[in-house]
Structure formats: C-alpha cells, structure tokens
Homo-oligomer: A and B are copies of this chain.
Amino acid sequence: MNTFAGIYPPVVTPFTAGGEIDFGSLDRVVDHLIDGGMHGLFVLGSTGEVAYLTDDQRVAVISAIARRTDGRVPLLVGCMEQTAPRVIQQAHRAIAAGAAGIVVTAPFYALNCVSEIADHFRMVSAAVDVPVFAYDVPVRLGGVKLVSEMLVTLGTEGVIAGVKDSSGNDVEFRRLVALNRAVGSPLQLFTGHEMINEAMMLIGADGMVPGFANVDPGRYRALYDACTDGKWEHAVAIQEEINAEFQIVFKPRGRGGDGTGVGAFKIAMSLLGVIDSPTQPRPLADFTDEDISAVREVLVSTGLLS
C-alpha cells in the first residue's frame, strides 16, 4: 500500500491543434513528470480532461502512459462514471491497460444518500482486484461530499485503500486524518490542494495530487521532501514560490472551470516545450493571444521561463 504515498500528479492529456490526442506530447509529459521526481501518476483525472474523452480514447490514453512509464512508477487511473455498473466496465478496461489502482467518485447524475454511496464503492471494489481510491470532488458532483465516517468504515472493510480529497474542506480532512489513525490508518490520504499543500502535509496528509505539478514537478517534489524532513518553514518558502507561479490560472478569460485551470496548465506546458499545443477538447475554445501572453508573463516574472 505504501507504494501509493507521495506525489501523484493528475496527468494532462495533450491534444493537437486539430483536436486529436497528441500521443507524442503525452510521452513527453510522462517523462517530464517522472524525471521531476513524481512518485506515481494519476491518469484520467479531471485535469486529464477525462470527461471529454470517449471510452476508446480513455483506454488509448492509459495504454500510452503505461507504455511510456514502463513500470518506473505506479499508475492510478480515474474511472469517472455515473454509477457502479458503468464504473466497473471502465475499471476492467483500465486494469487491462495498466492501472495499478483505480480512482472512483460518488455516483453522479444519480441522486443517492450516504448508505447508497457506500454501497456504490462496495460494488466497485468487489468487482476489481486492484486498490480502489475514493475521490472526493464536490465541485463536480453537485456538492456531494464524501462523509469522513463512511470513508473510514470503507477503509476498515478493505473496500477502499485511500482517498483523494478535493473537497476544499480542510477541517473535515483533518477529522478524516484523526478518524483514520484511530482505526490503524487503513487509508492513504492524498490532498487535492495546489496552494496549501505543506499545511495539509503538516496536519497529516500522506501525499498530494497537484495538477500544477504538470508545469513544475520539481518544486512540488522539493516541497514534499521538505515536509517529510520536517523543514516546515522551508516548505512554506517553496509553496510560496509555487503559488506565485500558480497565478497563471487566473489569466485565461471567458472560459468555464475546465478551460481556466487546466487550460492555463496547458498554455504553460506548451510555452515550456513540454507539449506542442495548449489545445483543449471542444467545446473549449482556442486560447487568445492575450491568454497566452498573460500566462507567459507570469512564467517569466517568476523565473520559470526565461
């Protein structure tokens, strides 16, 4: 289980200007991340624009990343589907393509109560033979928050192996840390934060899943190491450097949530030469020159780009 600690960045899915998945760039992203010191990869997360990919494209992305990774680090793969039967189908394909663990949200489009959500995870876990991580992401699930007590119960039962917390509810995350410890720490707890990761490490996170590590993996690794070394004020200094860079996410204009954050990452990655084009899947529009200039300016002023 400890193989899943550390930093597992959600891997972006590059597209060509024409709108096809750009597997050449994807190979470079994988190398960029592993060379940057990442402990594993989270494939087909929100940052990977999983929602915009067909089932076949999803499999192709997993396979490509697995091939390029070639066992250097483990892969956690997102199986973002409406309900358990559909998640299970995705999971079987993902495992066949190289997933060492899968990441599963509460049901969506569906409307369920807590006991039904718990059974959803039990259904998925019973159908697969790899560790299952629960992904808590209320912003994409109509505000549905995974209940800490439920998560720890599922951990104790062996249903789930960990949690990726993107709830933004840090008090509840700390309760989860405490509840998990009280029963012997069956869960690995990853924070989905980008900007307060050293604080989450301080209060008990086992790892992190920062989308912005696609842009600057090295600094996140240095941050992580400072935390595990107990050098908290050094960690703060690194986090503040990251945060200055991270302001790129406020630069793209006239776009929704997916077009702003991930879009800014893609602009930066293309400016840094990691990927060929910042293109996002339709209906997300092409970036304007102003968007790109504004991101470049942040990268230059923070020294990430010369």
Contact = CB atoms under 8 A, between A and B. Distances in A.
Contacts of A162: none
Contacts of A281: 83, 85
Interface in A48-93: 50-54, 57, 80, 82-86, 89
A254 interface: yes
Contact of A112 (B107, B199, B257): B257
A18 interface: no
Classify chain A's interface size: 35 or more
Interface in A257-300: 257-259, 281-285
Interface string A123-144: 1000000000000000111110
A174 B85 CA distance: 38
Interface in A118-173: 118-120, 122-123, 139-143, 168-171
A240 interface: yes
Interface of A: 46, 50-54, 57, 80, 82-86, 89, 107-113, 115-120, 122-123, 139-143, 168-171, 174-175, 178, 193-196, 198-200, 202-203, 230, 232-233, 236, 239-240, 243-244, 254-259, 281-285
